[in-house]
Amino acid sequence: MTARFLPRAAPRQVANFLPRGAPNFAFRAGTRAASSISQRPGSSHVSFPGAVKSAFTSDLKFALSADSPALPTYRVVDQDGNVVDQSFKPDLSDEEVVKLYKTMLTISIMDIIMFDAQRQGRLSFYMVSAGEEAISVGSASVLDKGDVVFCQYREQGVFAQRGFTLNDFMNQLFANKKDPGKGRNMPVHYGSRDLNIHTISSPLATQIPHAAGAAYGLKMQRMNDPSLPPRVVVVYFGEGAASEGDFHAALNIAATRSCPVVFICRNNGYAISTPTLEQYRGDGIASRGIGYGIDTVRVDGNDIWAVREVTKRAREMALEDGGRPILIEAMSYRVSHHSTSDDSFAYRARVEVEDWKRRDNPIARLRKYMEARGLWDESKEKEARESIRRDVLKAFSEAEREKKPPIRAMFEDVYEELTPDLKAQMGELRDHLEKYPEEYDLSEFEGGISSLRQ
Amino acid sequence: MKQSISLRRLQKTLASGSTGRCAGRVLGARSPRSYSTHPPNARLNIPVDYSTTPLLAHTSQTALSSAELPPEVRNSTTKRMNLFQAINDALSIALTEDENVLVFGEDVAFGGVFRCTMKLAENFGGGRVFNTPLTEQGIMGFGIGLAAEGMRPVAEIQFADYVYPAFDQLVNEAAKFRYRDGSCGRSVGGLTVRMPCGGVGHGALYHSQSPESLFTHIPGLRVIMPRSPLQAKGLLLSAIRSNDPCIFMEPKILYRAAVEQVPLGPYTLPLSKAEVLKQGKDVTIISYGQPLYICSSAIQKAEQDLGISIELIDLRTVYPWDKETVFKSVQKTGRCMVVHEAMVNAGIGAEVAAAIQEHPETFIRLEAPVARVAGWSIPTPLLYEKFNFPDVARIYDNVKKLLDY
């Protein structure tokens, strides 16, 4: 994209480019002293600086993408809830397992209720995460409280698992005065400082390089103050977002700067209507990690145990040796529509979706696992579903009744302080609203027009 | 080898600013490059003599006389620096006083293609001053992530012409981060983005651009362009300390050309505050960055020929900009011209002119339409730069038109 040939191509700069302290044998006074970096006689390996470990070959052979086997998908528990990884040892008490299950169930029940609420026009927008509860809840369940998280938008489970309450969800969804986003963001764009989850923004993949930078920041902070606990950054994104340039930028920069970041790709088969066949032709997202020099694993995203094991190990690896990035590709199926603005039966068969719902989904799989161990049964299921439904509806109606934030909030937080222009514009809006009181309904906003007074 | 020598010379020339207007007089006699000469009989369009321009502090006394400097700095000493050295000095101070400051971008570790980051990696370590892969969106996203976690990243985009891949990150992420986080209170205010900008005599389409007005249309960003070493140091330190994300645009032609006495030690200059460089009563000229020197030359000629006095204002911060200083001046003079290199359409001049006519007390004082002297509505073509960017003759002529109206 950039052709900075003028200054960039000057060979003198390349000479100065070497890391300090590295033996500067390659260049002297702008002359390329090629002898020590180039090929030694009889050497079996290339010494080109761009690929130092490459062996010479006399066979002309292209690496055929089709020849590489697809990376395997790690699972602990199969579709029927049976443990298939014999080395697996559950690290949770029975109560904790039930709690994880209930968190997934809560997300899934909230999704159904809020989807319908949007259909009734009580909410402007909603996105469910059906089929992907194990990825978000499972991975978040093995993170440290201090770890920093960046989300895309289909990670309600991360919020719930880290302590976001039903009231927190509802306040944001209804953009009431308790919404930390002050009613500025679309529904589902949650954020929490206390839970170390950055506020979600709509542009796809922009958060991936943020995660790399944030991880580098945490690493530097710990270098400056070794008493700080080791922390990683975790970033979630879909397989569609991985086609954005920011994905490429982020993985590359995270690898070159050795950032302690765990990239978690939710590969659910669709980006709105676009199936993965039209998204990429390689072996998913996982195969790309290796190209960036990033240790990578593919995991069954419907298996919460596998997601937990993989994330736990990834977190440890990310903190080893001063830090490095890890890529996890969690495979799943987007059971739901993309959002409330989407009817997915316009581009995929209803039977396919029903099949996935029935055959395999993360909630059913954990339920089978629990049932096999006598932790769960039909009556507990019924009771849990009813009580969660009640809780959701209670939080729903409380949030719906709250006032909206003060109108003044629309001008604040653009800059650290209100600029003279913004103060003037706030005054202009106030004068206008006073002049045309019949044209606007201010009653639902906290403080009405008074918030616009200086 | 031959090719690499000529490339090196090219690079040196581009970085030096010893081109075009500014050093044409020196090079003209011995250089075969026609683009760096000026017509032998020119009276107006002669190269700026940076060694005598009143816009630079040629003595220590002048440098220290500014009322904006804190008392301890006014009582200190100065050192002669060019613009890249002043930037380097500011970065060095910022890295010294705050361990959260990091400096990175393409090729910054060895000192930068314009030498602004010389010795910083050696002095502060490769962990704090480092090269990134060649990806502008990556640099910006990485910087945003750092700032979001409380660091103070100073990211460099090698040329302002190459900031566009990072536009999404700047517009949708950096600028809106505080707003969307609301009462969570997080922002990327620690972020400063430096980028060389502006014409350099032969930078053509992709080494000449001044995209400042594109940033001024983004609520949440502060956009700053210094005109001199002393100013660059103070404004850059302000930008780094500012809790709003700042775009800091450095006129690359001044990197070596503008040399002045710069106070030693840390000091800041206020953001969003214009500076009246010269008092006058008949016309107000508003500009920022390198064209101020052209304006200054034109003012000397116009005052001498026409017996008038012209006020010159340096905006310094182009957004959010200092309307009050501008309105006050135009209310006094009644005539006003805005000068910038970037194309005239929807440029800074459009905003300044619109604000002037919109302000009731200033509008009624206008005795002529607000003039804009700026780049034409074209890309910056290699061969025609001298016809495109504002020069002394065009500014001079527009002063006459303002008076004749």
Rounded alpha-carbon distances, angstroms, from residue B276 to A49, A260, A283, B262: 54, 49, 62, 19
Q: How confident is the model at residue A37 (pLDDT cuts 50, 70, 90)?
A: low
What does the buried/exposed string (b/e) look like for A109-137 if buried means 16 or more CB atoms within 10 Å of the residue's CB?
A: bbbebbbebbeeeebeebbbbbbbbbbbb
In which band, very low, low, confident or very high, does the pLDDT at A341 lie, cut at 50, 70 and 90?
A: confident
How is residue A144 annotated by DSSP? -
Q: Are B202 and B35 in contact (CB under 8 A)?
A: yes
Instruction: Give me the residue from A9, A250, A421 closest to B138, CB to CB.
Output: A250
Q: Which of A38-42, A131-135, A220-224, B77-81 has the lowest mean pLDDT?
A: A38-42
Q: Which of A114, A109, A182, A190 is nearest to A149 (CA)?
A: A190
Put simply, the answer to whether A250 touches B128 (Cβ < 8 Å) is: no
Residue B17 near residue B254 (C-beta atoms within 8 A): yes
Contact between residue A396 and residue A134 where contact means Cβ atoms under 8 Å apart: no
Give which of B289, B291, B297, B292 is closest to B251, Cα–Cα. Answer: B289
Q: Compute the distance between CA of residue B261 and CA of residue B79 in angstroms, rounded to an integer.
A: 5
B139 pLDDT above the threshold of 60: yes
Spell out the residues 6+ positions from residue B320 whose beta carbon is closer than 8 angstroms to its own: A415, A419, A420, A421, B222, B272
Phi, psi values for residue B267, rounded to 5°: -155, 155
Query: Which comes out higher in pLDDT, residue A339 or A133?
Result: A133
Token look-up 């395997």 returns A72
Can you give the pLDDT at residue A359? 79
Q: Are A317 and A282 in contact (CB under 8 A)?
A: no
Query: How far apart are the C-alpha atoms of A257 and A214, rounded to whole Å?
Result: 12
A266: left (phi over 0), alpha (psi -120 to 50) or beta: beta
Read off the tokens for A215. 């991880």
pLDDT at B26 over 50: no
User: Which sign, positive or negative, has the C-alpha torsion A386, A391, A396, A401?
Assistant: positive
For residue A43, is pLDDT > 90? no
- Any residues with CB less than 8 A from the CB of A123 and at least 6 apart, and which? A114, A117, A173, A174, A187, A340
Q: Would you give the end-to-end CA distance of chain A in angstroms?
A: 48
Answer with the residue of higher pLDDT: B156 or A359.
B156
Q: Do A180 and B7 touch (CB under 8 A)?
A: no
Burial track B324-340 (b if 16+ CB lie within 10 A, e otherwise): ebbbbbbbebbbbbbbb
CA distance A247 to chain B (A): 9
Judge whether residue A231 has pLDDT over 70: yes
**Rounded CA separation B334/B281 (Å):** 9
Q: What's CA A370's distance to the chain center, in Å?
A: 28
Residues A201, B173: C-beta atoms closer than 8 Å: yes
DSSP A197: B
* A301 min Cα distance to partner chain B (Å): 27
Range name among A114-123, A139-148, B341-350 with the lowest pLDDT average: A114-123
| Residues of chain A with C-beta less than 8 angstroms from the C-beta of B217 | none
Phi–psi pair at B224, nearest 5 degrees: -125, 140
Which chain A residue shows the shortest CA-CA distance from B171? A203
Rounded Cα–Cα distance for residues B209 and B212 (Å): 9
* Strand duo B101-105 + B129-131: pairing: parallel
Asked if B151 and A257 come within 8 Å (Cβ–Cβ), the reply is: no
Q: What is the least distance, in Å, from the CA of A368 to any CA of chain B?
A: 39
Q: Which residues on chain A are in Cβ contact (under 8 Å) with B133?
A: 249, 252-253, 256
Instruction: Assign residue A417 a region (left: φ > 0; alpha: ψ between -120 and 50; beta: otherwise).
Output: beta
DSSP B216-276: HTSTT-EEE--SSHHHHHHHHHHHHH-SS-EEEEEETTHHHH-EEEEESS-----TT--EE
pTM of the model: 0.91
pLDDT for A44 equals 79
Average pLDDT, chain B: 93
- Closest partner residue to A414 among B100, B165, B220, by Cβ? B220
- Nearest-CA residue of chain A relative to B203? A6
Residue B173 known to be catalytic: no
State mean pLDDT over B33-42.
72
- In this complex, the residue of A8, A182, A214 whose CB is nearest that of residue B149 is A214
Alpha carbon distance A74, A298 (integer Å): 6
Put simply, the answer to whether A206 touches B122 (Cβ < 8 Å) is no
| A11, pLDDT greater than 70 | no
Q: Give A419's contacts in chain B (Cβ within 8 Å).
A: 272, 320
Q: Using a pLDDT cut of 70, give the percent of chain A over it.
A: 91
Set of chain B residues whose Cβ sits within 8 Å of the Cβ of A217: 145-146, 148-151
Place of tokens 């400063």: B192
The distance of B215 to chain A (nearest Cα, Å) reads 14
State the Cα angle at A100 between A98 and A102, rounded to 5°.
70
A80 token code pair: 């029927």
SS3 B127: coil
Written as six digits, the tokens of B28 are 């003209």
Tens of pLDDT, residues A269-300: 989 889 999 999 999 999 999 999 999 999 99
Across A37-59, average pLDDT? 80
Alpha carbons A447 and A295: distance in angstroms, whole number: 54
Quick check: B386 pLDDT over 90? yes
Interface of B with A in 10-29 (CB under 8 A): 10-11, 14-15
* Rounded CA separation A253/A292 (Å): 9
> How many whole angstroms separate alpha carbon A273 and alpha carbon B191?
37
Top pLDDT among A20 and A426 is at A426
If you count residue pairs, one on A and one on B, with CB atoms under 8 Å apart, how many are there? 218
Say if the Cβ atoms of A213 and B173 lie within 8 Å: no
Name the residue facing A252 among B135, B176, B182 (closest C-beta).
B135
d(CA B81, CA B68): 19
Q: Which residue has the higher pLDDT, A307 or A55?
A: A307
Q: Report the residue of chain B nearest A259, measured CA to CA.
A: B142
CA distances from B190 to B54, B101, B127, B247 (A): 34, 9, 18, 12
Tens-digit pLDDT profile for residues A59-104: 999 999 888 899 999 999 999 999 999 999 999 999 999 999 999 9
Q: Which of A206, A258, A294 to mutate to test the interface with B (most CBs of B within 10 A)?
A: A206
Structure tokens at A414: 């653009």
Nearest residue to A13 (alpha-carbon basis) of B106, B120, B141? B106
Confidence of residue B51 (pLDDT cuts 50, 70, 90): very high
The identity of residue B243, as a single letter, is: N
For chain A, say whether B112 makes contact (Cβ under 8 Å). no
- The answer to whether residue A36 scores a pLDDT higher than 90 is no
β-pairing verdict for B310-314 and B283-287? parallel
Annotated catalytic residue, options B136, B156, B250, B385 = B136
**Record: contact B127-A223, CB cut-off 8 A:** yes
B216 contacts: CB under 8 Å, gap ≥ 6: B223, B318, B319, B321, B348, B351
Confidence of residue A38 (pLDDT cuts 50, 70, 90): low
- Whether residue B189 and residue A416 make contact (CB cut-off 8 A), yes or no, is yes
Q: Which of B106, B156, B173, B207 is catalytic?
A: B207
Cβ contact B8–A416 (<8 Å)? no
Residues of A in contact with B143 (CB under 8 A): 213
B107 touches chain A (CB under 8 A): yes
| Contacts with B361 from chain A: Cβ below 8 Å | none
- Tell me the per-residue pLDDT of A142-169, one tens digit each, with 9 for 90 and over: 999 999 999 999 999 999 999 999 999 9
| Cβ–Cβ gap B184/A191 under 8 Å | yes
For residue A444, give both structure tokens. 């639902």
- What is the C-alpha to C-alpha distance for residues B215 and B248, in angstroms, rounded to an integer? 11
Residues 6+ apart with CB under 8 A from A199: A180, A181, A185, A189, A190, A191, B180, B181, B182, B184, B186
Percentage of residues of chain A with pLDDT beyond 90: 78
Pick from B113, B153, B183: which is nearest to A13 by CB?
Answer: B113
Q: Is B136 a catalytic residue?
A: yes
Q: How confident is the model at residue A39 (pLDDT cuts 50, 70, 90)?
A: low
B245, B271 contact by CB (below 8 A): no
Tell the burial category of B39 from Cβ atoms under 10 Å away from its Cβ (0-12, 13-18, 19+): exposed
Confidence class for position B31, pLDDT limits 50, 70, 90: very low
pLDDT at res. B18? 40
pLDDT (tens digit per residue) in A416-436: 999 999 999 999 999 999 999
By the CB < 8 Å criterion, does B243 face chain A? yes
The candidate with the shortest Cα–Cα distance to B267, out of B60, B103, B71, is: B71
Q: Is the pLDDT of residue A314 over 80?
A: yes
> In chain A, what residues touch B244 (CB-CB under 8 Å)?
415-416
Asked if B324 reaches chain A (Cβ–Cβ under 8 Å), the answer is yes
Cβ contact, residue pair A6, B173, below 8 Å: no
Alpha-helical (H) ranges within A47-93 are: none
Does the pLDDT of residue A28 top 90, yes or no?
no
**ipTM field:** 0.91
**Residue A345: its pLDDT value, please?**
87
Nearest CA in chain B to A258: B127
Tell me if chain A has a CB within 8 Å of the CB of B8: yes
pLDDT band at B371 (very low <50, low <70, confident <90, very high): very high
Using 50, 70 and 90 to split pLDDT, how confident is the model at B167? Answer: very high
Average pLDDT of chain A, as a whole number: 90
Q: Is the CB of B360 inside 8 Å of chain A's CB atoms? A: no
